[in-house]
Amino acid sequence: MARMQLQFLSDEEKQRIHSAALELLEKVGLRIVDAEARDVLADAGAHVDPATQRVRFPSSLVESARQKVPSEFTLYGRDIEDQKRVVHLRPGNVYYSTNGYAVHWYDPDSGTRRPIMQEDLAWITRLADAQEQLDILATIGTPADAPAETNDRYQQVISLLNSTRPILNTAYGKQAVRDNLEIATIVRGSREVLRQYPLWVVDLTTLSPMELDARQASTMVESARQGLPIGISPGPIAGATGPVTLAGNTAMATAELLGAITLVQTVQPGTPVLYTSYTRSLDMASGRLAMGGPEFAMQRVATAEMACYFNIPSRGGGLITDAKAADAQLGVEKLLGCLLPSLAGLTVVAGFGMVDSLNTVRPEVFPIDNEIVSTVRHILKSFEVNDDTIPIDVIAEVGPGGNFLTTQHTLDHFKQELWFTRLWERRPWEVWEKEGQLDVAQRARRLIRSRTPTVPPLEDKAVQAMWKVVLAADRSVGRIL
Protein backbone atom coordinates (compact mmCIF):
# COMPACT_ATOMS: atom_id res chain seq x y z
CA MET A 1 0.00 0.00 0.00
CA ALA A 2 1.51 3.30 -1.09
CA ARG A 3 1.16 6.13 1.43
CA MET A 4 -0.60 9.20 0.13
CA GLN A 5 1.96 12.02 -0.07
CA LEU A 6 1.93 15.68 -1.03
CA GLN A 7 4.90 17.45 -2.60
CA PHE A 8 5.17 21.14 -3.57
CA LEU A 9 8.93 21.47 -4.11
CA SER A 10 11.02 19.64 -6.69
CA ASP A 11 14.44 18.31 -5.72
CA GLU A 12 16.00 21.16 -7.67
CA GLU A 13 13.91 23.73 -5.79
CA LYS A 14 14.86 22.26 -2.41
CA GLN A 15 18.52 22.38 -3.40
CA ARG A 16 18.08 26.00 -4.46
CA ILE A 17 16.52 26.94 -1.10
CA HIS A 18 19.36 25.11 0.66
CA SER A 19 21.98 26.96 -1.39
CA ALA A 20 20.28 30.31 -0.75
CA ALA A 21 20.25 29.63 2.99
CA LEU A 22 23.97 28.84 2.97
CA GLU A 23 24.67 32.00 0.99
CA LEU A 24 22.65 34.09 3.44
CA LEU A 25 24.55 32.67 6.39
CA GLU A 26 27.90 33.26 4.71
CA LYS A 27 27.23 36.78 3.38
CA VAL A 28 24.66 38.21 5.79
CA GLY A 29 25.09 36.00 8.83
CA LEU A 30 23.10 36.14 12.05
CA ARG A 31 23.19 38.86 14.65
CA ILE A 32 23.74 36.88 17.87
CA VAL A 33 23.24 38.93 21.02
CA ASP A 34 25.13 36.61 23.35
CA ALA A 35 28.89 36.75 23.79
CA GLU A 36 29.31 33.12 24.78
CA ALA A 37 27.41 31.87 21.75
CA ARG A 38 29.52 34.09 19.50
CA ASP A 39 32.72 32.79 21.14
CA VAL A 40 31.62 29.17 20.65
CA LEU A 41 31.05 29.80 16.96
CA ALA A 42 34.25 31.81 16.54
CA ASP A 43 36.27 28.93 18.00
CA ALA A 44 34.59 26.63 15.46
CA GLY A 45 35.61 28.81 12.51
CA ALA A 46 32.76 31.32 12.11
CA HIS A 47 33.63 34.93 11.30
CA VAL A 48 32.56 37.16 14.21
CA ASP A 49 32.37 40.94 14.31
CA PRO A 50 32.06 41.85 18.03
CA ALA A 51 31.14 45.46 17.25
CA THR A 52 28.01 44.52 15.30
CA GLN A 53 27.48 41.12 16.98
CA ARG A 54 27.28 39.69 13.47
CA VAL A 55 28.32 36.06 12.95
CA ARG A 56 28.97 34.83 9.41
CA PHE A 57 29.05 31.11 8.84
CA PRO A 58 31.30 29.32 6.34
CA SER A 59 29.19 26.84 4.40
CA SER A 60 31.51 24.01 5.40
CA LEU A 61 30.85 24.72 9.10
CA VAL A 62 27.07 24.74 8.57
CA GLU A 63 27.07 21.53 6.56
CA SER A 64 29.30 19.75 9.05
CA ALA A 65 26.98 20.75 11.89
CA ARG A 66 23.83 19.80 10.00
CA GLN A 67 25.11 16.30 9.37
CA LYS A 68 25.51 15.77 13.13
CA VAL A 69 21.79 16.24 13.82
CA PRO A 70 20.14 12.87 14.58
CA SER A 71 17.62 11.83 11.96
CA GLU A 72 15.27 10.65 14.71
CA PHE A 73 14.71 10.61 18.45
CA THR A 74 12.08 9.24 20.80
CA LEU A 75 10.00 10.94 23.48
CA TYR A 76 8.20 9.20 26.32
CA GLY A 77 5.21 10.21 28.39
CA ARG A 78 5.12 10.70 32.13
CA ASP A 79 4.81 6.94 32.66
CA ILE A 80 7.63 5.29 30.71
CA GLU A 81 5.75 1.99 30.74
CA ASP A 82 2.82 3.46 28.80
CA GLN A 83 3.58 2.58 25.18
CA LYS A 84 0.62 4.68 23.97
CA ARG A 85 2.55 7.77 25.02
CA VAL A 86 5.74 6.96 23.12
CA VAL A 87 6.39 9.06 20.00
CA HIS A 88 9.15 8.29 17.49
CA LEU A 89 10.06 11.61 15.90
CA ARG A 90 11.51 11.01 12.45
CA PRO A 91 10.76 12.05 8.87
CA GLY A 92 7.75 10.09 7.66
CA ASN A 93 5.99 9.80 11.01
CA VAL A 94 3.19 12.26 11.76
CA TYR A 95 2.01 13.26 15.24
CA TYR A 96 -0.26 15.97 16.63
CA SER A 97 0.20 18.43 19.48
CA THR A 98 -1.19 21.46 21.20
CA ASN A 99 0.47 24.81 20.56
CA GLY A 100 2.11 27.05 23.09
CA TYR A 101 1.71 30.17 25.13
CA ALA A 102 -1.77 31.60 24.53
CA VAL A 103 -2.49 34.51 26.85
CA HIS A 104 -6.31 34.34 26.81
CA TRP A 105 -8.95 31.71 27.00
CA TYR A 106 -12.64 31.75 26.21
CA ASP A 107 -14.56 30.82 29.33
CA PRO A 108 -17.55 28.75 28.13
CA ASP A 109 -19.47 29.36 31.37
CA SER A 110 -19.33 33.15 31.32
CA GLY A 111 -19.14 33.48 27.52
CA THR A 112 -16.21 35.90 27.81
CA ARG A 113 -12.53 35.93 26.95
CA ARG A 114 -10.15 36.54 29.83
CA PRO A 115 -6.49 36.07 30.76
CA ILE A 116 -5.38 32.52 31.50
CA MET A 117 -4.65 31.84 35.17
CA GLN A 118 -2.81 28.87 36.67
CA GLU A 119 -6.04 27.13 37.60
CA ASP A 120 -7.38 27.65 34.09
CA LEU A 121 -4.20 26.31 32.51
CA ALA A 122 -4.36 23.18 34.68
CA TRP A 123 -7.95 22.47 33.60
CA ILE A 124 -7.27 23.22 29.94
CA THR A 125 -4.22 20.94 30.04
CA ARG A 126 -6.29 18.08 31.46
CA LEU A 127 -8.91 18.70 28.79
CA ALA A 128 -6.23 18.50 26.10
CA ASP A 129 -4.80 15.33 27.65
CA ALA A 130 -8.25 13.72 27.40
CA GLN A 131 -8.22 13.99 23.56
CA GLU A 132 -7.23 10.57 22.27
CA GLN A 133 -5.76 11.98 19.04
CA LEU A 134 -3.27 14.20 20.93
CA ASP A 135 0.31 12.89 21.01
CA ILE A 136 2.41 15.71 22.52
CA LEU A 137 1.50 18.39 25.04
CA ALA A 138 3.02 21.74 24.08
CA THR A 139 2.47 24.14 26.97
CA ILE A 140 -0.86 25.69 26.05
CA GLY A 141 -0.89 29.00 27.89
CA THR A 142 1.04 31.58 29.85
CA PRO A 143 -0.69 32.13 33.22
CA ALA A 144 -1.15 35.79 34.11
CA ASP A 145 -0.96 35.09 37.85
CA ALA A 146 2.65 33.84 37.68
CA PRO A 147 5.73 36.10 37.60
CA ALA A 148 6.82 36.99 34.08
CA GLU A 149 10.45 36.13 34.87
CA THR A 150 9.67 32.56 35.99
CA ASN A 151 6.47 31.79 34.10
CA ASP A 152 8.23 29.00 32.20
CA ARG A 153 8.75 27.05 35.45
CA TYR A 154 5.05 27.34 36.31
CA GLN A 155 4.24 26.12 32.79
CA GLN A 156 6.58 23.15 33.23
CA VAL A 157 5.03 22.04 36.52
CA ILE A 158 1.43 22.60 35.41
CA SER A 159 2.06 20.66 32.18
CA LEU A 160 3.63 17.71 33.97
CA LEU A 161 1.01 17.58 36.72
CA ASN A 162 -1.93 17.69 34.32
CA SER A 163 -0.81 15.66 31.30
CA THR A 164 0.50 12.16 30.77
CA ARG A 165 2.09 13.00 27.41
CA PRO A 166 5.62 14.11 26.54
CA ILE A 167 5.83 17.87 26.72
CA LEU A 168 7.25 20.78 24.77
CA ASN A 169 7.95 23.93 26.78
CA THR A 170 10.29 26.89 26.61
CA ALA A 171 12.91 28.09 29.10
CA TYR A 172 13.86 31.67 29.94
CA GLY A 173 17.66 31.45 29.96
CA LYS A 174 20.37 29.21 31.38
CA GLN A 175 19.07 28.95 34.94
CA ALA A 176 15.60 28.27 33.59
CA VAL A 177 16.97 25.31 31.64
CA ARG A 178 18.52 23.94 34.84
CA ASP A 179 15.32 24.53 36.82
CA ASN A 180 13.01 22.94 34.26
CA LEU A 181 15.48 20.09 33.87
CA GLU A 182 15.35 19.55 37.63
CA ILE A 183 11.54 19.52 37.51
CA ALA A 184 11.56 16.91 34.72
CA THR A 185 14.16 14.89 36.63
CA ILE A 186 11.90 14.81 39.69
CA VAL A 187 9.19 13.24 37.54
CA ARG A 188 11.58 10.63 36.15
CA GLY A 189 13.34 9.92 39.44
CA SER A 190 16.89 10.44 38.22
CA ARG A 191 18.87 12.27 35.57
CA GLU A 192 20.02 8.98 34.07
CA VAL A 193 16.44 7.76 33.61
CA LEU A 194 15.52 11.10 32.03
CA ARG A 195 18.42 10.75 29.56
CA GLN A 196 17.26 7.27 28.66
CA TYR A 197 13.59 8.26 28.40
CA PRO A 198 13.39 11.90 27.26
CA LEU A 199 10.25 13.68 28.43
CA TRP A 200 10.75 17.29 27.41
CA VAL A 201 11.72 19.23 24.29
CA VAL A 202 12.98 22.78 24.87
CA ASP A 203 11.01 25.08 22.57
CA LEU A 204 13.09 28.06 21.33
CA THR A 205 12.89 30.61 18.54
CA THR A 206 15.00 32.76 16.29
CA LEU A 207 14.17 36.45 15.89
CA SER A 208 13.43 37.28 12.27
CA PRO A 209 15.04 38.63 10.28
CA MET A 210 18.36 36.84 10.88
CA GLU A 211 18.88 37.23 14.64
CA LEU A 212 19.26 35.26 17.85
CA ASP A 213 18.55 37.41 20.88
CA ALA A 214 20.48 37.00 24.11
CA ARG A 215 17.94 34.81 25.89
CA GLN A 216 17.30 32.43 23.01
CA ALA A 217 21.00 32.03 22.16
CA SER A 218 22.09 31.44 25.75
CA THR A 219 19.22 29.01 26.29
CA MET A 220 20.22 27.06 23.19
CA VAL A 221 23.80 26.81 24.47
CA GLU A 222 22.73 25.55 27.90
CA SER A 223 20.10 23.15 26.54
CA ALA A 224 22.66 21.60 24.19
CA ARG A 225 25.18 21.24 27.02
CA GLN A 226 22.55 19.44 29.07
CA GLY A 227 21.85 17.06 26.18
CA LEU A 228 18.21 18.10 25.85
CA PRO A 229 16.22 17.85 22.60
CA ILE A 230 15.66 21.33 21.18
CA GLY A 231 12.91 22.64 18.95
CA ILE A 232 14.22 25.60 16.94
CA SER A 233 11.55 27.79 15.39
CA PRO A 234 11.89 30.81 13.11
CA GLY A 235 8.69 32.68 12.34
CA PRO A 236 9.31 35.36 9.72
CA ILE A 237 6.16 37.13 8.53
CA ALA A 238 6.09 37.35 4.74
CA GLY A 239 5.82 41.01 3.83
CA ALA A 240 6.88 42.24 7.30
CA THR A 241 9.81 40.48 8.99
CA GLY A 242 10.50 38.31 5.96
CA PRO A 243 10.37 38.55 2.16
CA VAL A 244 6.83 38.67 0.80
CA THR A 245 7.53 35.79 -1.56
CA LEU A 246 6.93 32.42 0.06
CA ALA A 247 10.11 31.01 -1.46
CA GLY A 248 12.13 33.91 -0.03
CA ASN A 249 10.46 33.58 3.36
CA THR A 250 11.18 29.84 3.38
CA ALA A 251 14.82 30.40 2.38
CA MET A 252 15.39 32.97 5.13
CA ALA A 253 13.74 30.75 7.73
CA THR A 254 15.94 27.88 6.56
CA ALA A 255 19.01 30.07 7.03
CA GLU A 256 17.94 30.98 10.57
CA LEU A 257 17.32 27.32 11.37
CA LEU A 258 20.66 26.17 9.98
CA GLY A 259 22.50 28.92 11.84
CA ALA A 260 20.90 27.92 15.15
CA ILE A 261 21.53 24.24 14.39
CA THR A 262 25.20 25.07 13.83
CA LEU A 263 25.34 26.70 17.26
CA VAL A 264 23.79 23.78 19.17
CA GLN A 265 25.74 21.12 17.27
CA THR A 266 28.99 23.01 17.91
CA VAL A 267 28.20 23.04 21.64
CA GLN A 268 27.13 19.39 21.74
CA PRO A 269 27.36 17.26 18.59
CA GLY A 270 24.40 14.94 18.23
CA THR A 271 21.91 17.20 20.02
CA PRO A 272 18.41 16.13 18.90
CA VAL A 273 16.68 18.93 16.98
CA LEU A 274 13.04 19.37 16.02
CA TYR A 275 13.22 21.37 12.78
CA THR A 276 10.39 23.80 13.45
CA SER A 277 9.03 26.69 11.42
CA TYR A 278 6.19 29.14 11.86
CA THR A 279 6.72 31.08 8.63
CA ARG A 280 3.56 33.08 8.07
CA SER A 281 2.34 36.15 6.20
CA LEU A 282 0.91 39.62 6.64
CA ASP A 283 -2.66 40.36 5.61
CA MET A 284 -1.92 43.36 3.41
CA ALA A 285 -5.55 44.52 3.60
CA SER A 286 -5.60 44.88 7.40
CA GLY A 287 -1.93 44.90 8.39
CA ARG A 288 -2.58 41.98 10.75
CA LEU A 289 -0.91 38.60 10.99
CA ALA A 290 -2.53 35.84 8.91
CA MET A 291 -2.11 32.25 10.09
CA GLY A 292 -5.25 30.56 8.81
CA GLY A 293 -5.00 31.11 5.07
CA PRO A 294 -3.63 28.90 2.32
CA GLU A 295 -0.18 30.52 2.53
CA PHE A 296 0.30 29.26 6.07
CA ALA A 297 -0.57 25.69 5.07
CA MET A 298 1.70 25.91 2.00
CA GLN A 299 4.63 27.07 4.11
CA ARG A 300 4.08 24.13 6.51
CA VAL A 301 4.37 21.83 3.51
CA ALA A 302 7.64 23.55 2.62
CA THR A 303 8.84 23.05 6.22
CA ALA A 304 8.09 19.33 6.01
CA GLU A 305 9.80 19.01 2.65
CA MET A 306 12.95 20.88 3.69
CA ALA A 307 13.19 18.88 6.93
CA CYS A 308 12.85 15.63 4.99
CA TYR A 309 15.49 16.91 2.57
CA PHE A 310 17.83 17.40 5.55
CA ASN A 311 16.60 14.14 7.16
CA ILE A 312 15.55 15.87 10.39
CA PRO A 313 12.19 15.52 12.22
CA SER A 314 9.97 18.59 11.79
CA ARG A 315 7.25 20.58 13.51
CA GLY A 316 4.93 23.46 12.69
CA GLY A 317 1.46 24.86 13.17
CA GLY A 318 -1.32 23.04 11.39
CA LEU A 319 -4.51 23.25 13.40
CA ILE A 320 -4.22 27.02 13.29
CA THR A 321 -6.98 29.52 12.55
CA ASP A 322 -7.50 33.26 12.60
CA ALA A 323 -11.18 32.64 13.47
CA LYS A 324 -12.46 33.65 16.89
CA ALA A 325 -15.54 31.42 17.06
CA ALA A 326 -16.03 27.71 16.44
CA ASP A 327 -17.54 28.42 13.05
CA ALA A 328 -17.18 27.53 9.36
CA GLN A 329 -14.01 29.61 9.00
CA LEU A 330 -12.43 27.67 11.84
CA GLY A 331 -13.32 24.33 10.27
CA VAL A 332 -12.00 25.25 6.82
CA GLU A 333 -8.74 26.77 8.07
CA LYS A 334 -7.98 24.02 10.55
CA LEU A 335 -8.70 21.16 8.14
CA LEU A 336 -6.66 22.81 5.38
CA GLY A 337 -3.78 23.54 7.75
CA CYS A 338 -3.86 20.04 9.21
CA LEU A 339 -4.37 17.93 6.09
CA LEU A 340 -1.77 19.48 3.79
CA PRO A 341 1.21 19.31 6.20
CA SER A 342 0.17 15.82 7.30
CA LEU A 343 0.20 14.63 3.70
CA ALA A 344 3.63 16.25 3.28
CA GLY A 345 4.98 14.39 6.32
CA LEU A 346 5.36 17.17 8.89
CA THR A 347 6.43 15.20 11.95
CA VAL A 348 4.50 17.24 14.53
CA VAL A 349 1.40 19.17 13.46
CA ALA A 350 0.49 21.64 16.22
CA GLY A 351 -2.50 23.73 17.25
CA PHE A 352 -5.08 21.69 19.22
CA GLY A 353 -7.64 23.97 20.89
CA MET A 354 -6.28 27.27 19.58
CA VAL A 355 -8.10 30.13 17.82
CA ASP A 356 -7.40 33.82 17.22
CA SER A 357 -3.98 33.29 15.56
CA LEU A 358 -2.75 31.30 18.60
CA ASN A 359 -3.65 34.03 21.08
CA THR A 360 -6.74 32.37 22.57
CA VAL A 361 -7.80 28.90 23.72
CA ARG A 362 -11.41 27.79 23.29
CA PRO A 363 -12.23 24.60 25.24
CA GLU A 364 -14.95 23.40 22.85
CA VAL A 365 -12.41 23.46 20.01
CA PHE A 366 -10.45 20.56 21.55
CA PRO A 367 -13.04 17.90 20.61
CA ILE A 368 -13.50 19.56 17.20
CA ASP A 369 -9.76 19.37 16.55
CA ASN A 370 -9.74 15.82 17.85
CA GLU A 371 -12.31 14.93 15.18
CA ILE A 372 -10.35 16.74 12.46
CA VAL A 373 -7.16 14.86 13.35
CA SER A 374 -9.05 11.58 13.44
CA THR A 375 -10.31 12.31 9.93
CA VAL A 376 -6.85 13.19 8.64
CA ARG A 377 -5.30 10.09 10.19
CA HIS A 378 -7.88 7.96 8.39
CA ILE A 379 -6.94 9.62 5.09
CA LEU A 380 -3.24 9.05 5.77
CA LYS A 381 -3.89 5.30 6.06
CA SER A 382 -5.11 5.22 2.44
CA PHE A 383 -6.48 1.74 1.65
CA GLU A 384 -5.05 -1.64 0.74
CA VAL A 385 -5.60 -3.24 -2.64
CA ASN A 386 -5.35 -7.05 -2.61
CA ASP A 387 -7.42 -10.18 -3.18
CA ASP A 388 -9.11 -9.81 0.20
CA THR A 389 -10.09 -6.16 -0.25
CA ILE A 390 -11.37 -6.81 -3.79
CA PRO A 391 -13.65 -9.75 -2.89
CA ILE A 392 -14.69 -11.06 -6.29
CA ASP A 393 -16.18 -14.23 -4.79
CA VAL A 394 -18.26 -12.22 -2.31
CA ILE A 395 -19.51 -9.89 -5.04
CA ALA A 396 -20.43 -12.93 -7.14
CA GLU A 397 -22.24 -14.54 -4.21
CA VAL A 398 -24.26 -11.42 -3.42
CA GLY A 399 -25.01 -10.90 -7.10
CA PRO A 400 -27.02 -8.20 -8.85
CA GLY A 401 -29.51 -6.42 -6.61
CA GLY A 402 -28.13 -8.03 -3.43
CA ASN A 403 -26.86 -6.51 -0.19
CA PHE A 404 -23.46 -6.72 1.49
CA LEU A 405 -24.58 -5.64 4.95
CA THR A 406 -24.90 -9.16 6.38
CA THR A 407 -21.83 -10.73 4.75
CA GLN A 408 -18.90 -11.95 6.81
CA HIS A 409 -16.62 -9.87 4.64
CA THR A 410 -18.37 -6.69 5.81
CA LEU A 411 -18.17 -7.83 9.43
CA ASP A 412 -14.45 -8.55 9.06
CA HIS A 413 -13.53 -5.24 7.46
CA PHE A 414 -15.89 -2.39 8.31
CA LYS A 415 -14.08 -1.23 11.46
CA GLN A 416 -10.78 -0.84 9.59
CA GLU A 417 -12.18 0.55 6.35
CA LEU A 418 -14.77 3.06 7.53
CA TRP A 419 -14.26 6.16 9.66
CA PHE A 420 -16.54 6.65 12.65
CA THR A 421 -17.41 10.12 13.92
CA ARG A 422 -17.98 11.05 17.53
CA LEU A 423 -19.01 14.63 16.92
CA TRP A 424 -20.20 15.30 13.35
CA GLU A 425 -23.93 15.16 12.74
CA ARG A 426 -25.07 12.22 10.58
CA ARG A 427 -28.48 11.40 12.06
CA PRO A 428 -31.79 12.07 10.30
CA TRP A 429 -33.01 15.67 10.26
CA GLU A 430 -35.97 14.79 12.49
CA VAL A 431 -33.72 13.39 15.22
CA TRP A 432 -31.38 16.38 15.05
CA GLU A 433 -34.35 18.77 15.21
CA LYS A 434 -35.95 16.94 18.15
CA GLU A 435 -32.73 17.07 20.17
CA GLY A 436 -32.31 20.82 19.92
CA GLN A 437 -30.84 21.50 16.46
CA LEU A 438 -27.39 21.80 17.98
CA ASP A 439 -24.50 22.86 15.78
CA VAL A 440 -21.06 21.31 16.14
CA ALA A 441 -19.81 23.94 18.61
CA GLN A 442 -22.83 23.37 20.86
CA ARG A 443 -22.36 19.60 20.72
CA ALA A 444 -18.66 20.04 21.55
CA ARG A 445 -19.53 22.21 24.57
CA ARG A 446 -22.04 19.62 25.72
CA LEU A 447 -19.39 16.92 25.33
CA ILE A 448 -16.77 18.66 27.47
CA ARG A 449 -19.34 19.52 30.15
CA SER A 450 -20.42 15.87 30.35
CA ARG A 451 -16.93 14.76 31.37
CA THR A 452 -14.50 15.79 34.08
CA PRO A 453 -10.99 15.35 32.66
CA THR A 454 -8.65 13.73 35.16
CA VAL A 455 -4.98 12.75 35.16
CA PRO A 456 -3.39 10.25 37.58
CA PRO A 457 -1.66 12.28 40.31
CA LEU A 458 2.04 12.22 41.03
CA GLU A 459 3.26 11.40 44.53
CA ASP A 460 2.93 14.29 46.99
CA LYS A 461 6.67 14.24 47.61
CA ALA A 462 7.39 14.78 43.91
CA VAL A 463 4.77 17.54 43.62
CA GLN A 464 6.23 19.40 46.59
CA ALA A 465 9.74 19.07 45.18
CA MET A 466 8.65 20.47 41.81
CA TRP A 467 6.98 23.53 43.38
CA LYS A 468 10.04 24.02 45.58
CA VAL A 469 12.11 24.55 42.42
CA VAL A 470 9.57 27.12 41.20
CA LEU A 471 9.55 29.01 44.51
CA ALA A 472 13.35 29.09 44.59
CA ALA A 473 13.31 30.59 41.11
CA ASP A 474 10.81 33.23 42.25
CA ARG A 475 13.05 34.16 45.18
CA SER A 476 16.09 34.42 42.94
CA VAL A 477 14.41 37.16 40.91
CA GLY A 478 12.80 38.81 43.93
CA ARG A 479 9.27 37.75 43.04
CA ILE A 480 7.21 36.01 45.68
CA LEU A 481 3.51 35.75 44.95
Model confidence, pTM: 0.95
Neighbours of 395 (CB within 10 A): 14
Q: Which of 20, 41, 63 delimits the end of a domain?
A: 63
Residue 211 within a domain: yes
- Asked whether residue 377 is assigned to any structural domain, the reply reads yes
Question: Do residues 417 and 435 make contact, with C-beta atoms less than 8 angstroms apart?
Answer: no
User: Quick check: is 296 in a domain?
Assistant: yes
Domain-located, residue 450: no
C-beta of residue 256 within 8 angstroms of C-beta of residue 234: yes
Q: Quick one: 190 and 88 in the same domain?
A: yes
Task: Check whether residue 346 and residue 219 sit in a common domain.
Answer: yes
- Cα–Cα distance between 119 and 131 in angstroms, integer? 19
Clarify whether residues 141 and 186 are in a common domain.
yes
- What string of pLDDT tens digits covers the 481 residues of the chain? 556 788 999 999 999 999 999 999 999 999 999 999 999 999 999 999 999 999 999 999 999 999 999 999 999 999 999 999 999 999 999 999 999 899 999 998 889 999 999 999 999 999 999 999 999 999 999 999 999 999 999 999 999 999 999 999 999 999 999 999 999 999 999 999 999 999 999 999 999 999 999 999 999 999 999 999 999 999 999 999 999 999 999 999 999 999 999 999 999 999 999 999 999 999 999 999 999 989 999 999 999 999 999 999 999 999 999 999 999 999 999 999 999 999 999 999 999 999 999 999 999 999 999 999 999 999 998 888 999 999 999 999 999 999 999 999 999 999 999 999 999 999 999 999 999 999 999 999 999 998 889 999 999 999 999 999 999 999 999 876 5
Residue 346, pLDDT score: 97
Residue 122's domain is classified under what CATH number? 3.20.20.480
Same domain, 32 and 115: no
Task: Please indicate, yes or no, if residue 426 is contained in any of the structural domains.
Answer: no
Quick one: CA dihedral 89, 252, 34, 45, positive or negative? positive
Together in a domain, 284 and 221: yes
**139 and 199 together in one domain:** yes
- Are residue 43 and residue 93 in the same domain, yes or no? no
Say whether both 19 and 162 belong to one domain.
Answer: no
Q: Which residue type, as a one-letter code, is found at position 269?
A: P
One domain, residues 96 and 243: yes
Confidence at residue 429, expressed as pLDDT on a 0 to 100 scale: 96
Which residues, including other chains, have CB under 8 Å from residue 470's CB and lie 6 or more apart?
Answer: 150, 153, 154, 157, 179, 183
Residue 415 within any structural domain of the chain: no
CB-facing half-sphere around the CA of 296: CA atoms within 13 A: 31
What's the total number of domains in the chain? Answer: 2
Rounded CA-CA distance 189/187 in Å is 6
Give the H or E element holding residue 49. strand 47-49
The domain boundary, picked from 381, 408, 443, lies at 381
| 346, 381, 416 - which closes a domain | 381
Does 191 lie in the same domain as 90? yes
209: CB partners within 8 A, 6+ apart: 236, 241, 242, 252
Nearest in space to 264 (alpha carbons), one of 229, 292, 300: 229
Residue 22 contacts residue 258 (beta carbons within 8 Å): yes
Is residue 307 within 8 Å of residue 347, measured between CB atoms? yes
- Domain membership of residue 245 as a residue range: 73-381
How many C-beta neighbours within 10 Å does residue 255 have? Answer: 28
Measured CA to CA in angstroms, residue 302 lies from 3, 50, 199, 348 at distances of 19, 34, 28, 14
Residue 399 — φ and ψ, nearest 5°?
A: 75, 175
Same domain for 169 and 33: no
Give the C-alpha distances (Å, rounded to integers) separating 178 from 26, 202, 234, 312.
Answer: 33, 11, 24, 26
Give yes or no: residues 59 and 77 share one domain: no
The three-state secondary structure class of 73 is: strand
Examine residue 401 and state whether it is found in any structural domain, yes or no: no
In a domain, residue 344? The reply is yes
